[in-house]
A and B are shown apart, each in its own frame.
Chain A
Amino acid sequence: MITITINNKEIRLERPVTVLEAAKANGIKIPHFCHHGILEQWGGCRMCLVEVEKMPRLQTACTLFVTDGMVVMTESETISNARRSVLEFILINHPLDCPVCDKAGECKLQDYVMQYGPTAGRFKEPKIRHPEGLNDPLIVRNQERCIMCTRCVRMCSGIQGASAIAVTNRGNHSSMEPFSGERFDCEYCGNCLTVCPVGAIMSRLHRYSYRSWQVTDEIQTVCPFCGVGCTMIAQVRDNALMRVVPKLGLGSNKGLLCNRGRFGYEYVGSGERLKNPLIKKNGKLQPASWEEALDTVASRLKDIKNSSGGNAIAGIAGARCTNEDNYAFQKLIRGLGSNNIDSIARMGFAGGQRIFEGMLGPGVTSTPLSGIADSDAVLVVGGDPSEVNPVLGVHIRMAFKKGAKVITIGHAPGLGRHRTAGLLPHPQADGVVMGGLISAILKDKKSLPGGNRPLEEKITVMHLPSADDAAAACKLSAEDIGRLAKQLAGASSVSIVVGREAGGNKDTAMLVSVLSYILNARIYLMSERPNEQGLVDMGCLPDMLPGGRPLAEEGLRKKCGASWGIDIPADEGLTLMEMIQAASSGGIKAMYVMGENPAFNLPDTKNTEEALRRLDFLVVQDIFMTETARMADVVLPALSWIEKDGTYTNAERKIQRLKKAISITGMEDWKIVAEVGKRIGLKMPYGKAADIMKEIARVSPLHAGLTYADIEGGDNLWPYKGEPHKNWFSFPELSADAFTSPAEEGLCLMLEKPLFHSGTLSRKSPALNSISPEAVLRLSPATASGLNLKDGDFAKVSTEKGSLSLKVKIDRGIDGPAAFVSNNFEGRGLFSLTGYRLDPVTKSPLTEGRQISIEKE
């Protein structure tokens, strides 16, 4: 125990912290610029000077650690004089342009000058001028306002790991600059502008539109872009969303955001938002009243149910809709007598999770994000976390900086500078490498851990390839695999981060489970959408009811059905791609799509689109006129994430509250679904989202008794207040070709997960479009020069399925013979070029037809 005295107040501390932290924890404010809770200490701004008894001169509170018996004064005349001098130095060149500075009102410099002075300047020399940097579409730099606290640079290199900005030039002329000196060429996380204490780096999105004191409401909500579920504060002025900001210490993101979260929110105010229900008449979608639209949907669905049976109806739930929306939606589909309900979570998330849970036990992916940074080894497989889940990627980079071994299997350019090793087998040969790794680790560990007998029995009959065989099969070095195996085996705390590509394939998912078991590693499942986990938990699956209860268990099914007043059919429904296939063959006649864009987001676009066209009746509920909505018979406009209440469940399986920050006319997804439900005779008496949560808490054993108050109070981690299902262990068989590497050589088409976009919503965001306006073909410098292509050339990319003309972008982050195309821009998506085959167990579509030819245009 350390006892110190600050301002005559005795303070007891468990462990040595800095004087500044000790003071802060006890409500004593010490002014500071360069100190920031998340950043490394620097001690450069000299604002936090304090007097310490028996020390000859003033000390910086942010770097001085407390010692027992220390006596500190944080305010005195000497200190005020020193601080005034510091401020006077800063004001030598800082302009007095507060009246036109967006930061005014939340500027530390403004506040401290008010507190300590000086009230007038003594310098006659002209101030050094830096022209305002308006060359960047998102970030405006006002370097004459910069006070050189270097918070932004320490954030960029120390935390974000992008190292895109640096202090440039010398002395008085120093400024913070990106490499080009003008435009940023970075990840656009914008974390530099969060930490800027003055108006030197700011967002252009809300420039000159409001002052911090004009904010009428600050609402804590969750980011709508990916499954990390970053906590953010929405600042509202007169019912308009002005900006979103993170808050230090709040949520798993701990004060960080990524570019999508920070700059992507403008889609909410897009003029392209759907406002009225539309009904197709004479082949054209025409505005209609809500009554007419809802009646049409209900009566057509009823007709089809009566004529072709409930099995002819299918529903695709929405990964960006809330738990409440999705719960109501699956109830509606089941109420129509169908278990044909699935979602985009099928593309790798849900299936992967099922295998992990089946092999390792329930809740195995419920792992707090903070565990990554504390790991001493991180294995990444099947995706690039820095692009899919940027804030999760930052945690991996932090682990690397702390000395953890970071090993990637497959393409992960975002971790290029933050990994100890990367293995790059053929995209369909992850399994071989993992097989080799497992046998090398087992050789190193000498024995299995014991504990999970069935799994160990399974491992012994897996016919794992030796490290040598694996290396030979995918043309890697056996020594590399052996070395990495040693690193993993020697680590005491291992995290495995699994992407969609690895989760959707049962073989790789099984091998990940084995790796996790023998290394005692935590599993983190990357999640591309904000509520993929919620879809699983709410029963938007053809074989599961809310709370992760299998449909096959009769007792549970009956109980659930009784509480809804319906008979839930016993037969499992179709999965996502099976529904599309059934639509194509005529088995499915009606489809209800909520908050999803299957015509664009599912592989083999052309066939998917044709299948949707064959439907007798297609309802699309969305906030934009998507590719799918254009084909619909009825389009129902919904509300966006900031306009409704509810909950999302993130990839950590943490339920978080979404709060309504602005009101517009319209109906939430759950309300529209309930209106349809009522019209077909279902009991859906919901007045507000909380009513649905009450019903969820009654019906789902996992969420038993859970309320919004619990969630907000922090009682929001899996298994909440409920009971996880006693897991039935299930061990699928490895495919015969699980440990083979495809023989074919040549260029391989890969899906780019663009950092700046996430599909249907992000492409309606002007800010994100300004930094990433179009689809490109990304090639490594070697591939491009082999094809005689330069940056900016146009090339025709052809596969068996079709061809696209795309602009070439040379990307040094890419290794090997791979060509990356995103699936983000209308009419320019990778899924129009590739086919798929269904994984027999996870039923995820696995990309087929990666062989491409590229011609210069």
Chain B
Amino acid sequence: MLSDKTIEEVEALKRRYPDPRGAILPSLYIAQREFGWLSPEAFEAVSIVLGVPKAHLRGVASFYAMYRHKPVGRHLIQLCTNVSCMIFGAEDLVSLLKNRYGAEVGGTSPDGRFSLVIMECIGACEAAPAMLVNEDFHNNLTENNITEILEKYK
């Protein structure tokens, strides 16, 4: 179930729209934050607060690419391998993440610590390679500093 605070957040969103369906997308993001991914329970919880049928919620969510439709690790690494980042060695970082943490592209490390998603350009070419860890931005990555950075995410 959602926490009381989150329910309040969703309720507040719901009040902003004439039809509660207007609040579906942001509400799902809130639920995703709380549950880690859009689990059946997450849909159920949002459905109860918004009063929108859960099949409809799932239909809407499945249209969009940036919702998480399966469980992810505790931290989500979104690493760019587009042109600039690739030139500055992003592919090596991908191998490093795999070898060191066991995080395959699109997968999760066996200890459940990191999930790795490859992004198409996050607009940080001037300081490539770059990545997002959860909502934090990191750039000028090297094989050395990436492990230092990731040490902060247990």
Q: Using a CB–CB distance below 8 Å, which chain A residues touch chain B?
A: 157, 163-170, 177-181, 417, 812
Q: Which residues of B contact A178 (CB under 8 A)?
A: 55
**CB of B123 within 8 A of chain A?**
no
Interfacial chain B residues near A167, Cβ < 8 Å: 59
Residue B17 CB within 8 A of the other chain? no
Which listed residue (A177, A180, A417) contacts B59, Cβ 8 A? A177
Interface contacts beyond A166-B55, A177-B59, A179-B58: sample of 16 additional A-B pairs, CB < 8 Å, sorted by A: A163-B53, A164-B53, A166-B53, A166-B58, A167-B59, A168-B58, A170-B62, A170-B63, A177-B58, A179-B40, A179-B43, A179-B55, A180-B40, A181-B58, A417-B51, A812-B48
Contacts of B62 in A (CB 8 A): 168-170
Within 8 A of A (CB), among B18-69: 40, 43, 48, 51, 53-56, 58-60, 62-63
Please give the residue numbers on chain B whose beta carbons come within 8 Å of chain A beta carbons, in ascending order. Answer: 40, 43, 48, 51, 53-56, 58-60, 62-63
Q: List 5 A-B contacts (CB under 8 A).
A: A157-B56, A164-B53, A167-B59, A170-B62, A179-B55
Cα A165 to Cα B54 in complex, Å, equals 9
Indicate whether A169 sits within 8 Å of B53 (C-beta atoms), given known contacts A179-B58, A812-B48.
no
Min C-beta distance of B52 to chain A, whole Å: 8
Residues of B within 8 Å of A168, CB to CB, are 58-59, 62
| A163 in contact with B59 (CB, 8 Å) | no
- Give complex CA distance A163, B58 in Å: 12
Decide: A177 near B48, CB < 8 A? Known: A168-B62, A170-B63.
no
Residues of A within 8 A of B56 (CB): 157, 163, 166
CB nearest neighbor in A for B47: A179
Using Cβ atoms and an 8 Å threshold, which residues of chain A touch B53?
Answer: 157, 163-164, 166, 417
> Considering the chains assembled together, what is the distance between the CA atoms of A179 and B55 in angstroms?
4
Residue of B nearest to A417 (CB): B51
> Nearest Cβ in chain B — how far from A322, in angstroms?
40
Q: Would you call A163 and B55 a contact (CB within 8 A)? A: yes
State the Cβ distance, A610 to closest chain B Cβ, in Å.
Answer: 47
The answer to whether B54 and A179 touch across the interface, beta carbons within 8 angstroms, is yes
Report if A164-B63 is in contact (Cβ < 8 Å); known contacts: A180-B40, A812-B48. Answer: no
Closest to B1 in A: A781
Alpha-carbon distance A85/B43, docked complex (angstroms): 39
Contacts A157-B56, A180-B40; A169 near B63 (Cβ below 8 A): yes
User: How far is it, in angstroms, between the C-alpha of A812 and the C-alpha of B48 when the chains are bound?
Assistant: 9
B interface SS class: helix
Cβ A166 vs Cβ B59 within 8 A: yes
Which of A166, A169, A177 has the most chain B CB atoms inside 10 A of its CB?
A: A166
Closest 6 CB pairs of A and B: A166-B59, A163-B53, A179-B55, A166-B55, A168-B62, A169-B62
Residues from chain A with Cβ under 8 Å of B59 in the complex: 166-168, 177
Residues of chain B lying within 8 A (CB to CB) of residue A169: 62-63
Nearest neighbor of A156 in chain B, beta-carbon distance: B55
Distance between A415 CB and nearest chain B CB, rounded to angstroms? 14
Closest to A781 in B: B1
A679 to chain B, nearest CB (A): 59
B51 touches A164 (CB 8 A): no
Within the complex, what minimum Cβ distance (angstroms) separates A192 from chain B?
Answer: 12
B51 contacts which chain A residues (CB < 8 A)? 417
Shortest Cβ distance from residue A378 to the other chain B in the assembled complex, whole angstroms: 19
Closest B residue to A167 by beta carbon equals B59
Cα-based distance from A164 to B51 in the complex (angstroms): 13
Q: Report A-chain residues with C-beta under 8 Å of the C-beta of B58.
A: 166, 168, 177, 179, 181
Chain A: minimal CB distance from B64 (Å): 8
A297–B58 Cα distance when bound, in Å, is 62
Q: How far is the CA of A170 from the CA of B40 in the complex (A)?
A: 19
A812 to B53, CA, bound (A): 13
Minimum distance in angstroms from A811 CB to a CB of chain B: 13
Residues on the B chain within 8 Å of A157, using CB: 53, 56
B55/A165 in contact, CB under 8 A: yes
User: Is there an interface contact between A177 and B55, defined as CB atoms closer than 8 Å?
Assistant: yes
List chain A residues, Cβ under 8 A from B63: 169-170
A181 to B40 Cα, complex, angstroms: 11
Query: Given the complex of chains A and B, what is the CA–CA distance between A708 and B135 in angstroms?
Result: 75
Residues of A within 8 A of B54 (CB): 179
Q: How far is the CA of A166 from the CA of B63 in the complex (A)?
A: 11
| Residue in B closest to A812 when the chains form the complex, CB atoms | B48
Report Cα–Cα, A417/B63, bound state, in Å. Answer: 25
Instruction: Kindly list chain B residues whose C-beta atoms are within 8 Å of the C-beta of A164.
Output: 53, 55
CA distance A178 to B55 in the complex (A): 6
Most central of B40, B43, B55 by chain A CB within 10 Å = B55
Whole-angstrom distance from the CB of B63 to the nearest CB of chain A?
A: 5
Residue among B51, B56, B60 having the largest count of chain A Cβ atoms under 10 Å: B56
Residue of A nearest to B53 (CB): A163
| Distance in Å: Cβ of A183 to nearest Cβ of chain B | 12
Complex Cα–Cα for A168 and B59 (A)? 4
Q: For the complex formed, measure the closest distance between the CB of A135 and the CB atoms of chain B, giving whole angstroms.
A: 15
Bound Cα distance from A166 to B54, whole angstroms: 9
Complex Cα distance, B23 from A825, in Å, reads 43
A586 vs chain B, min Cβ distance (A): 57
Q: How far is the CB of B50 from chain A (nearest CB, A)?
A: 11
Question: B residues within 8 A CB of A170?
Answer: 62-63
- A812–B43 Cα distance when bound, in Å, is 15
Q: A166 to B62: give the CA distance in the assembly, Å.
A: 10
B154 to chain A, nearest CB (A): 33
CB distance from A200 to the nearest CB of B (A): 16
Max chain A CB contacts within 10 Å: which of B40, B53, B58, B60? B53
Chain A residue at minimal CB-CB distance from B64? A170
**Taking the nearest CB of chain A, how far is it from the CB of B58, in angstroms?**
6
Distance of B131 from chain A, by nearest CB (Å): 27
Query: In the complex, A178 Cα to B54 Cα: how many Å?
Result: 9
Give the shortest distance, in Å, between A506 (CB) and chain B (any CB).
Answer: 38
A178–chain B nearest beta-carbon distance, Å: 6
Neighbouring B residues of A163 by C-beta, 8 Å: 53, 55-56
- Separation of A179 and B52 alpha carbons in the complex (Å): 12
Residue of A nearest to B65 (CB): A170
Within the complex, what minimum Cβ distance (angstroms) separates A48 from chain B? 25
**Measured between alpha carbons, how far is A166 from B60 in the docked complex, in Å?**
8
Nearest CB of B to A148, in Å = 12
- Chain A residues with Cβ below 8 Å from B55 are 163-166, 177-179
A164 vs B47: C-alpha distance when bound (angstroms): 12
- Complex Cα spacing A170 to B66, Å: 13
Cα–Cα, bound, A167→B55 (Å) = 9
Question: Which B residue sits closest to A163, measured CB to CB?
Answer: B53
The answer for the CA separation of A163 and B53 in the assembled complex, in Å, is 6
Cα–Cα distance between A834 and B32 once the two chains are bound (Å): 46
A12–B31 CA distance with the chains assembled, in angstroms: 56
A179 to B54, CA, bound (A): 6
Q: How long is the Cα–Cα vector from A163 to B60 in the complex, in angstroms?
A: 13
B101 to A: closest C-beta gap in Å: 31
Interfacial chain B residues near A417, Cβ < 8 Å: 51, 53
Shortest Cβ distance from residue A81 to the other chain B in the assembled complex, whole angstroms: 32
Q: Separation in Å of the B85 CB from the closest CB of chain A? A: 27
Most-contacted residue by chain B among A163, A168, A177, A179 (CB, 10 A) = A179
A579 to B91, CA, bound (A): 87
The smallest beta-carbon distance between B14 and chain A, in angstroms, is 15
Question: In the complex, what residue of chain B is closest to A161 when comparing beta carbons?
Answer: B53
Closest Cβ of chain B to A413, distance in Å, is: 14
What is the CB-to-nearest-CB distance from B78 to chain A, in angstroms, rounded to a whole number? 21
Instruction: Give bound CA distance, A163 to B50, whole Å.
Output: 14
B24 to chain A, nearest CB (A): 12
Which residues of chain B come closer than 8 Å to A165, judged between CB atoms? 55
Q: In the docked arrangement, what's the CA distance between A660 and B55, Å?
A: 41
Q: Please indicate the chain A residues that have their CB under 8 angstroms from the CB of B40 in the complex.
A: 179-180
Complex CA distance for A827 and B123, rounded to whole angstroms: 69
Residues of A within 8 A of B43 (CB): 179
